[in-house]
């Protein structure tokens, strides 16, 4: 049906309805407050108790599962399960931690270069959001999950469910990449366990929530690589590993205490293609060469950088294998490799806002008979482009050469590489589920890399061509799989290219935007803090943004309680081309989420963002300022540091304090990446010369310096900190709503000093600009309880079935939200739903029916109002048998404004009408203005009737005529 836009964002279930044993239920898991996989051992907080009462009105619709330290909630609707998981309060013990035993000291012996490399237990949470479905009994299990490692998953499930491995059927449309496990395995195990426990098919949403598992499960392998020699090439290489192995699925370790310390891995020796290299294989995991190759190939690149050598030449010099040398030479020619200026301290200047780099890596994997000569060889040259503002890494070109191995020809090899690389979610470089990560559907996913696959022209093909045994996965699989050996050098090639681009060495995958940004801002790239433990920072280096970062730090210190702030030096307008299109686009989304243009544009005819809109406050009239990059009247000569100080601390570039009508109290919560993107966006917009309009404030509010005291009392400039006990969706929603979205600026009441109230008053409803911003918390007066779906429909399309349309100052907010990726609006809806009294869709429909039934009765004593209603309103607002296009779709009986304590919004709507927030929507709410048609007393009669008929349970509004007169005098429409 048109106009309905609430589709599940993760798409349809992966299984047909008749292939499962019953109606699918939805589950969400609640992980311990702390857990981690550390040195081959699982440590976690232990479950004390689950406070079921915390579910409130949801309680009767939710099943809570407890087993060991495993907690999950089950519901019939996905949004209810997600909401219950965010509402349920669970108490845990403090964790039992053994402390960090692994101190990685770098050898500083002369003539020895030593480096540590690590490989994570889970490379990422998954490739894209999807449903994972499990249908399990005590004798058999069927799972629909996109797993990269089906055999390991099957083993884990066999233990978890006490089933024989061949009783477990896996349906997957995904092929392995040889890069290791994804957290989709953990989601599958969660679904399987819950399904077997309650005997129903269970769907669990694989989404960035599972990033917590990725972070908690830490490292699977650690490699130490040493090279000896004073010359250009190492005389000897040694690789050593102490590998706890990849963690089993989290559900197994939470439900079975005996599985917290699984048996160690078998050891194996692997030969290296380079002279003198040998793994000291005390604990090398069997069969998987990728982590070792990552370590070895990264190390050679580091060696080449230390000795200022061409890394490709270095390999050729080290190798004796002629076939391998010829492959490398062929790839070098195809990619037109030029010896790079490879010093870490060389200047790296962004081109079109991007840092470009190129990296090389090679591998030679023996075949099944351990014959090195006949093994598979592959060489990669990867080109990357790094956005220093957002930290995003794009693979721009990949040249992959393979000698005659498993691939039948270059076309098939190219196709298989595309399959493994072109998915926007290639787990090495994609999003990590950070709270400031923007959804993907609106932002451009970037250009896919140009893939250049080649089979090296070699004389004699190898005697045996190793093929991986085809994984037993059913469903649509690509016709041909890449061998792990072909993909193996990819990770190191990208890491080496990242070093070339940024001067930062990444010694463990994946290369997510958050890690890349952190590295560029001067934090060490090769450490990832253990969750919940203080991070060690072995060394610091000022990166590309280092200078900017220290300026920011200065700003933070300076903006204390000083009534006079120093001016920041004006700068020439930043050159175009300093920022990437992706950063500018991200900034545009931040600006839309923040509705900058709504306040900074003077009415429909004003120039966008040129300022001049008036705000009537209890302290006098304020005018918004020009935020276009005009150098004399706008912010064109503001440095980033000055911009950030204004956004986070409310201090203008010239040192004057700003008034909190500009919600810097909310904008302070923006992440650095979003703040820089916003700056990039604003600075690249067309400049408009428009001098500021003088404010008209009463004494003493016109003394700006007093704001220093206000800030000390009421402003907390801390950036947003995610709540680890809530879901990723909730944290994303909270970040958007509390930060850029500044919901509380209108929806929270303010105290006498104009500061937002908190606690029970947070989002408790307030008056702003002659409109009432209704309560978004337990104080909500909505006659029908909201559902998460209804909130989403309202925010996204401007209308919710049982609530009506967005009007007044909310209309431009909805128009701005329409620009955001769908997932971000969904996150806001989820966050707001966690604050409101919420219900499910069936109950909401019943409540609506009951409310409508009450309003059908005629009311006595309001005859003059009824006559006005029948003449002016009924043609659109009465529910007729004949569907009329211009009819109001939502009955007035369901309208929150008619049930509110205050008549303001009803008066506003009748006086000045309603303008559809989103043109082209299904009759998304338009109403003519009746300002000229009704006198104050007529309007008072009409509203008395409306209140009595459509909100029969509420007391009559008092002093209506006076309020109508007051609003008629001030309000000039939205």
Partner 1 sequence: MADCINLTVNGRSERFALDPTTPLLHVLRNDLALNGPKYGCGLGQCGACSVLVDGRAARSCVISLGAVAGRHVTTLEGLVRDGRPDPVQTAFVECQAAQCGYCLNGMIMTVRGLLNQFQRPDRQQIIAALKHNLCRCGTHIAILQAATLAIELNLADVADGESAT
d(CA 153, CA 170): 9
Q: Is 198 in the site for partner 1 (CB under 8 A)?
A: no
Tell me the β-bridge partners of 756.
Answer: 750
Segment contacting partner 1 (CB under 8 A): 241-249, 301-309, 322-330, 911-919?
A: 911-919
- 930 binds partner 1 per the rule CB under 8 A: yes
The one-character DSSP state at 205 is E
As measured in angstroms, the least distance from the Cβ of 904 to partner 1 is: 22
Structure tokens at 442: 């609106």
Q: How far is the CB of 899 from partner 1 (least distance, A)?
A: 25
Cβ proximity to partner 1: between 699 and 885 the closer is 885
Residue 247 in contact with residue 121, Cβ under 8 Å? yes
| Peptide bond between residue 663 and the one before it cis (omega within 30 degrees of 0) | no
956 binds partner 1 (CB under 8 A): no
Tell me the per-residue interface mask from 873 to 892 with partner 1, x by CB under 8 A, - otherwise. -xxx-x-xxxxxxx------
Nearer to partner 1, 230 or 880 (CB): 880
* Secondary structure (DSSP) of 778-806: TT---SS-B-HHHHHHHHHHSEETTTEE-
Under the binding rule (CB under 8 A), the answer on residue 614 touching partner 1 is no
Contact present, 648 and 636 (Cβ < 8 Å): no
Q: Which residue has the tokens 């129903």?
A: 200
Beta carbons within 10 angstroms of residue 697's beta carbon: 16
Angle among Cα 440, 441, 442 to the nearest 5 degrees reads 95
Tell me whether residue 809 or residue 921 sits nearer to partner 1 (CB atom): 921
Pairing, β 47-51 against β 25-30: unpaired
* Interface with partner 1, residue 558, by CB under 8 A: no
The CA distance from 221 to 18, in Å, is 43
Please pick, from the candidates 872, 931, 936, 966, the single residue that binds partner 1 as defined by CB under 8 A: 872
Strand partners, 136: 141
- Which structure tokens are listed for 410? 């270059």
| Site size for partner 1 (CB under 8 A) | 25
Which of 476, 920, 953, 955 is the binder for partner 1 (CB under 8 A)? 920
Nearer to partner 1, 557 or 883 (CB): 883
* Contact (CB, 8 A) for 71 and 64: yes
Vertex 493 angle, CA 491 and 496, to 5°: 110
Q: Is 1 in the site for partner 1 (CB under 8 A)?
A: no
Q: Which is nearer to partner 1, 554 or 872 (CB)?
A: 872
Question: Which region among 542-550, 699-707, 742-750, 928-936 touches partner 1 (by CB under 8 A)?
Answer: 928-936
What is the nearest approach in angstroms of partner 1 to the Cβ of residue 880?
6
Two tokens, residue 307: 């000795």
Spatial separation of the C-alpha atoms in residues 680 and 587, rounded to whole Å: 7
Q: Which C-beta is closer to partner 1: that of 393 or that of 927?
A: 927
Q: Which stretch binds partner 1 (CB under 8 A): 68-76, 468-476, 563-571, 913-921?
A: 913-921
* Residue 911 near residue 967 (C-beta atoms within 8 A): yes
Nearer to partner 1, 683 or 868 (CB): 868
Nearer to partner 1, 76 or 923 (CB): 923
Question: Up-side HSE of residue 2: CA atoms within 13 Å toward CB?
Answer: 5
The number of residues in the chain equals 974
3 state DSSP class of 40: coil
Q: Which is nearer to partner 1, 23 or 920 (CB)?
A: 920
Shortest Å distance, C-beta 853 to partner 1: 19
Task: Spell out, one character per residue from 817 to 856, where the chain touches partner 1: x when CB under 8 A holds, - when not.
Answer: ----------------------------------------
Backbone angles phi, psi at 260, to 5 degrees: -75, -20
By CB under 8 A, tell whether 928 contacts partner 1.
yes
Give the residue with the Cβ less far from partner 1, 3 or 724: 3
User: Looking at beta carbons only, is 322 or 875 nearer to partner 1?
Assistant: 875
Of the candidate residues 443, 697, 768, 915, the single one contacting partner 1 (CB under 8 A): 915
Q: Provide φ and ψ at 547, rounded to 5°.
A: -60, -45
What is the smallest separation between the CB atom of 538 and partner 1, expressed in angstroms? 55
- Applying CB under 8 A, which of residues 39, 151, 607, 926 lies at the interface with partner 1? 926
765 or 925: whose CB is closer to partner 1? 925
Site stretch for partner 1 (CB under 8 A), options 258-266, 395-403, 750-758, 912-920: 912-920
Secondary structure element (H or E) that encloses residue 83, with its range: helix 78-87
Nearer to partner 1, 862 or 930 (CB): 930
- Least separation in angstroms between CB 934 and partner 1: 10
Nearer to partner 1, 85 or 910 (CB): 910
Phi/psi for 562 (5° steps) reads -65, 125
Task: Rule CB under 8 A: choose which of 871, 901, 937, 970 binds partner 1.
Answer: 871
Reading the block at residue 860, the tokens are 């006595």
* Contacting residue, 619, 923, 954, 966, with partner 1 by CB under 8 A: 923
Q: Which of 485, 675, 924, 960 binds partner 1 (CB under 8 A)?
A: 924
How far is 692 from 749, CA to CA, in rounded Å? 29
Q: Is 94 in the site for partner 1 (CB under 8 A)?
A: no
SS3 string, 516-548, reads HHHHHCCCCCCCCCCCCCCCCCCCCCCCCCHHH
Q: If binding is defined by CB under 8 A, does position 858 make contact with partner 1?
A: no
CB of 313 vs partner 1, minimal distance in Å: 57
Q: Is 885 exposed, middle or buried (0-12, 13-18, 19+ CB in 10 A)?
A: exposed
SS3 for 579-607 is: CCHHHHHHHHHHHHHHCHHHHHECCCCCC
Nearer to partner 1 by C-beta: 561 or 919? 919
Strands 25-30 vs 141-144: parallel, antiparallel or unpaired: unpaired
Site membership for partner 1, residue 607 (CB under 8 A): no
Q: Does residue 426 interact with partner 1 by CB under 8 A?
A: no
Closest CA to 775 of 732, 743, 818: 743
| Segment contacting partner 1 by CB under 8 A, of 116-124, 409-417, 647-655, 868-876 | 868-876
| Nearer CB in complex with partner 1: 457/928 | 928
598 is a site residue for partner 1 (CB under 8 A): no
Q: Kindly state the smallest distance separating residue 937's Cβ from partner 1, in Å.
A: 19
Helix (H) or strand (E) holding 828: helix 822-833
| CA-based nearest residue to 386, from 119, 583, 117, 680 | 583
Please check whether residue 813 is in contact with residue 598, taking contact to mean a CB–CB distance below 8 angstroms.
yes
Q: Tell me how far, at minimum, the Cβ of 881 lies from partner 1, in Å.
A: 6
CB of 918 to partner 1, least distance (A): 9
Sites of contact with partner 1 (CB under 8 A): 871-872, 874-876, 878, 880-886, 915-916, 919-921, 923-924, 926-928, 930, 933
């Amino acid at each position: 049906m048109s106009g309905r836009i609430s589709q599940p964002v993760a798409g349809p279930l992966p299984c047909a309805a008749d292939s499962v044993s019953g109606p699918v239920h939805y589950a969400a898991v609640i992980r311990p407050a702390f857990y981690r996989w550390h040195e081959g051992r699982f440590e976690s907080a232990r479950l004390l108790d689950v406070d079921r009462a915390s579910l409130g009105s949801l309680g009767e619709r939710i099943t809570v599962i407890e087993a060991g330290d495993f907690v999950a909630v089950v519901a019939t609707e996905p949004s209810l399960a997600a909401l219950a998981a965010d509402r349920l309060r669970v108490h845990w013990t403090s964790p039992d931690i053994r402390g960090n035993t692994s101190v990685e000291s770098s050898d500083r012996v002369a003539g020895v270069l030593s480096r540590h490399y690590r490989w994570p237990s889970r490379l990422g949470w998954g490739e894209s959001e999807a449903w994972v479905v499990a249908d399990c009994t005590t004798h058999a299990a069927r799972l629909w999950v996109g797993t990269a490692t089906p055999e390991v998953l099957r083993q884990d499930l066999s233990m978890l469910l006490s089933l024989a491995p061949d009783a477990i059927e896996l349906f997957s449309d995904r092929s392995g990449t040889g890069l290791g496990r994804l957290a989709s395995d953990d989601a599958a195990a969660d679904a399987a366990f819950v399904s077997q426990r309650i005997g129903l098919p269970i769907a669990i949403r694989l989404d960035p929530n599972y990033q917590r598992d990725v972070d908690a499960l830490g490292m699977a392998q650690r490699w130490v690589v040493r090279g000896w020699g004073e010359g250009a090439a190492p005389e000897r290489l040694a690789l050593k590993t102490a590998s706890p192995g990849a963690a089993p699925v989290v559900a197994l370790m939470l439900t079975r205490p005996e599985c917290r310390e699984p048996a160690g891995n078998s050891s194996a020796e692997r030969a290296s293609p380079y002279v003198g290299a040998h793994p000291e294989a005390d604990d090398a995991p069997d069969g998987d060469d990728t982590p070792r190759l990552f370590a070895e190939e990264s190390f050679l690149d580091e060696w080449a950088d230390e000795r200022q050598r061409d890394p490709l030449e270095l390999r050729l010099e080290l190798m004796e294998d002629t076939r391998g040398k010829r492959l490398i030479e062929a790839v070098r020619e195809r990619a037109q490799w030029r010896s790079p200026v490879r010093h870490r301290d060389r200047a790296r200047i962004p081109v079109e806002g991007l840092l470009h780099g190129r990296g090389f890596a090679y591998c030679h994997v023996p075949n099944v008979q351990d014959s090195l000569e006949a093994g598979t060889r592959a060489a990669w040259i990867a080109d990357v482009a790094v956005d220093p503002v957002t930290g995003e890494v794009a693979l721009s070109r990949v040249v992959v050469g393979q000698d005659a191995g498993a691939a039948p020809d270059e076309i098939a090899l190219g196709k298989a590489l595309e399959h493994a690389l072109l998915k926007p979610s290639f787990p090495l470089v994609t999003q990590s589920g950070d709270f400031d990560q923007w959804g993907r559907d609106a932002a451009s996913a970037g250009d896919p890399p140009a893939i250049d696959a080649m089979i090296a022209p070699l004389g004699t093909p190898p005697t045996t061509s190793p093929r991986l045994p085809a994984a037993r996965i059913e469903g649509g699989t690509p016709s041909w799989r890449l061998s792990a050996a072909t993909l193996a050098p990819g990770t190191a090639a990208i890491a080496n290219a990242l070093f070339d681009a940024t001067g930062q060495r990444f010694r463990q995958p994946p290369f997510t935007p958050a890690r890349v940004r952190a590295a560029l801002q001067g934090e060490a790239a090769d450490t990832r803090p253990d969750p919940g433990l203080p991070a060690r920072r072995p060394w610091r280096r000022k990166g590309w943004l280092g200078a900017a970062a220290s300026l920011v730090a200065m700003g933070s210190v300076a903006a204390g309680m000083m009534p006079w702030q120093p001016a920041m030096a004006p700068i020439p307008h930043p050159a175009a081309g300093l920022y990437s299109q992706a950063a500018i686009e991200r900034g545009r989304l931040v600006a839309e989420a923040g509705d900058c243009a709504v306040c900074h544009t003077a009415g429909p005819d004003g120039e966008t963002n040129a300022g001049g809109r008036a705000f009537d406050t209890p302290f006098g009239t304020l005018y918004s300022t020009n935020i276009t990059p005009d150098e004399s009247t706008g912010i064109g000569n503001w440095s980033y540091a000055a911009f950030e100080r204004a956004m986070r601390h409310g201090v203008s570039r010239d040192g004057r304090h700003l008034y909190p009508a500009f919600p810097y109290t909310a904008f302070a919560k923006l992440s650095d990446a979003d703040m820089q993107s916003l700056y990039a966006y604003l600075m690249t917009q067309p400049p408009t010369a428009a001098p500021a309009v003088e404010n008209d404030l009463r004494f003493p509010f016109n003394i700006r310096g007093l704001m220093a005291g206000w800030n000390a009392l009421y402003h907390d400039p801390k950036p947003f900190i995610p709540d680890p006990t809530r879901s990723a969706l909730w944290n994303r929603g909270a970040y958007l709503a509390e930060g850029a979205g500044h919901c509380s600026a209108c929806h929270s009441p303010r105290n006498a000093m104009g500061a937002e109230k908190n606690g029970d008053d947070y989002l408790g409803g307030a008056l702003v600009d002659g409109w009432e911003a209704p309560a978004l918390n337990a104080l909500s007066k909505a006659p029908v309880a909201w559902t998460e779906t209804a909130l989403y429909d309202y925010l996204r399309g401007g209308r919710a079935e049982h609530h009506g349309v967005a009007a007044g100052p909310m209309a431009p907010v909805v128009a701005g939200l329409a620009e955001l990726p769908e997932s971000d609006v969904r996150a806001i809806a989820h966050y707001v739903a966690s604050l409101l009294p919420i219900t499910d869709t069936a109950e909401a429909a019943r409540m609506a029916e009951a409310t409508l039934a009450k309003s059908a009765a005629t009311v006595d004593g309001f005859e003059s109002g009824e006559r006005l209603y029948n003449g002016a309103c009924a043609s659109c607002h009465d529910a007729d048998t004949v569907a009329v296009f211009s009819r109001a779709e939502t009955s007035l009986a369901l309208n929150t404004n008619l049930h509110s304590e205050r008549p303001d919004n009803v008066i506003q709507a009748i006086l000045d009408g309603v303008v559809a927030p989103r043109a082209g929507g299904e009759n998304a709410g338009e109403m003519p203005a009746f300002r000229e048609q009704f006198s104050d007393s007529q309007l008072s009669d009409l509203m008395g009737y409306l209140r009595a008929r459509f909100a029969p349970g509420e007391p009559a509004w008092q002093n209506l005529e006076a309020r109508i007169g007051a609003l008629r005098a001030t309000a000039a429409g939205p």
